[in-house]
Amino acid sequence: MDCGCAAPYIGPSLDRTCGGGSFILFMSLLDTFIRNKCDLSDICGRVRPKTLPDFEYDFVVIGGGSGGATAAGRLSEVANWKVLLIEAGGDEPPGSQVPSMVTNYQGDPHMDWNYKTEPQNQACLGYPEGRCSWPRGKVLGGCSTINGMMYMRGQPKDYDNWVALGNPGWGYQDVLPIFKKSEDNLEIGTLVDANYHGVNGPLTTSRFPNHPELAEDVLKAARELGYPVTDDLNGKQYSGFTIAQANVKNGSRLSSARAFLRPARNRPNLHIMLNSTATRILINTSGNQKTVSGVEFLYNNKLYTTRVKREVVLSAGAINSPQILLLSGIGPKEELDKVNIQQVHQLPGVGKNLHNHVTFYLSYLMKKSKAVNDLDWATALDYILNRRGPMSSTGMSQVTARINSKFADPSGTHPDMQIFFAGYLANCAQSGEVSAAEDPENPDAPRHLTISAVVLHPKSRGYVGLKTKNPLDPPLMYANYLAEPEDMATLVEGIRVTQRLANTRTLQDKYGLELIKEEYGDCEQKHTFDSDDFWQCAARYYTGPENHQAGSCKMGPSTDPLAVVDPKLQLYGIEGIRVMDASIMPVLVSGNTHATIVMIADKGVEHIKQKWLAGNTVGNSVSDRRTHQMVKPTTIKDIRIRIKDPEIQDFNIVQRFTGIILTCLILSTHSKHKGDIINRIIKDIRVVILGINKTKDTIIIQRNNLCLCARLG
């Protein structure tokens, strides 16, 4: 590989994503080809993670997913702000960039949290232990690295409803400019309207360069049933069937990390710690106002703490964000008492209001279409050389629809059902032989097509709690799917829509679709097959969770007892914490969530910039107030920090605003340690933080271009 720099190990190989065995040889060869394509592996364009954090940052962003990568990239645009991004996973593997490998890395322990819901009586009954799987990205880019790439914003009424719930500034006309700001839509004027889409933003958006013939036939079938067909569900028309746009660039996945972090990789003020798990946010409770003071995290089995000068941005997602708040002692006391965590701040809504889109899928045999493997050497070479062919798309998964059920808003302006499809995916192969059967033991087997109905406006609510106080243990996730009767009624109506679609003349004449009768526990013994009661039973047995979890750190007015953040995304009751991910959604948007999460982070950073860039605010930072007030002595901490040579620009800014020279590190310690600490500073660039105490004197030491400041009591 000749990319101009050394190639590090980047993530797991594709050969482990197809079940091993006979898949290993072909998939490992394919992975090697992909890793050796510079535009896919992007060795020189990737972020350069740190191995040790600095002592203090202006902002610490927890979570490098859809929201966190956006927030860190946007914050680092301000050259004087020092930003740390903490991500629990590693960097994106080259294989994840290939659109047809869209689901390959789901379930991989190196990239997926592999969460399971807690058992419930009314859903997920057919899965082991009655627990549904929740794939969640544990990798730079988060779920945008393992999701379906579909670019969906929801509907105007979603955001107008947020305003009606007490969140001014979040209406559709408020957020549309934010969506446009982040977007670089390549199909304005051909497929989409410039009134609704933007250009020159980090998030490139277009249709995949390839789609199966069946995709167009599904649109014909929709017309046969009287449904509208549109080129853009994010524009003027927000209901109907479409071949969706996606976050894809040059035929490969564009995650939030690739969009927002890689272009910022050379900014000296942006530091990224990978494979680092945030354990808690530290709060200073000594004054009248509780304020954030730092973030604690694990890296290489060692515990580190970094101080926060201005704010913490919590973007760990709808599961991990409430988990981290609870681990920090922030949340309902009854939940904290269960695991013996001392409460720092009472906030009843942390972890509550959790909800997710729920689905049920039907599988069909395509009796008139033989199942051949869409992945072979010809397909692979077409993609590797030209970024074309079946590997350049997600097959039938790029087709979707939003439609109204009888339970939808009577105005018809807020569709409450979504339809998804799956099939024709060039993601796994054994031999690479052209036109090889998908199942070598059954070469005449027909193709499969899956059609799913999704409830977009679920009424059922669950919650996130703690299993233990160990931050490495997964939290408790109570999905509470289908607890509300309207959710089940909407889902069954959606099932009927998918059946009518499969039975259209368009799809029957050309493909001969035939429903596959699955085993749904004892549903057929209890109910007549294909009755509404049968499908209700089946849906409780094989419940299909979407990966759109939201609402667990709800945004709302101060009068809302479950609100966790205000409309500026600031945590209620503690200064210096904002949440920027799907957890803040008071109500889920109508569709895939990635684009909305990027918008939330973009809007959140705008609020931060409005606060901190409005005049001379350095002296008003949380850290500065705490330095003047000081805090009570703390226990000795065995935390090692590598000191970085200060940049002259940062040095001058600190000097100008504070009147004294404060450089890389401030050590506040007891006077009896004065000699030891000075000797240690002079001899070594590694120091031990011994505690914080009131101080009077400041000693500045300069050695080998390394400026240190020790405040000694």
Residue 473 tokens read as: 């243990």
Residue recorded with tokens 């509208």: 228
The token pair at 586 is 């008071």
- For residues 112 and 89, give the distance between their C-alpha atoms in angstroms, rounded to a whole number: 9
The beta-strand segments (E) located in 83-196 are 83-86, 115-116, 133-134, 183-185
Strand pairing partners for 437?
372
Distances (CA, A) of 427 to 96, 130, 154: 11, 29, 28
| Marked catalytic residue, from 271, 345, 357, 548 | 548
What is the Cα 257 distance to its own chain's centre? 10
What residues form DSSP beta bridges with 698?
711
Q: How far apart are CA 530 and CA 520, in angstroms?
A: 12
Indicate the helix (H) or strand (E) that contains 377: helix 377-386
Residue that the structure tokens 């910022």 belong to: 264
Distance CA 387, CA 381 (A): 9
Using CA atoms, how far apart are residues 271 and 541, in angstroms rounded to an integer? 46
Q: What is the 3-state secondary structure (H, E, C) of 495-564?
A: HHHHHHHHCCHHHHHHHCEEECCCCCCCHHHHCCCCCHHHHHHHHHHCCEECCCCECCCCECCCCCCCCC
- Best CA proximity match to 514, nearest among 523, 502, 505, 500: 502
Please check whether residue 552 is in contact with residue 321, taking contact to mean a CB–CB distance below 8 angstroms. Answer: yes
Token readout for 66 is 């859809």
Rounded to whole angstroms, the Cα distance separating 541 from 162 reads 33
Residue 355 annotated among the catalytic residues of the structure: no
Phi and psi (nearest 5°) for 667?
Answer: -110, 115
CA 220 to centroid of chain Cα atoms: 34
CB-neighbour burial class of residue 431 (10 A; exposed 0-12, middle 13-18, buried 19+): middle
Q: What separation in angstroms does the CA of 628 have from each of 82, 285, 315, 503?
A: 21, 15, 30, 73
Give the C-alpha separation, 43 to 46, whole Å.
6
Tokens of 602: 């973009």
Give, in degrees to the nearest 5, the angle at Cα 7 between 5 and 8. Answer: 125
Six-digit token string for 29? 């060869």
Please identify every residue annotated as catalytic. 548
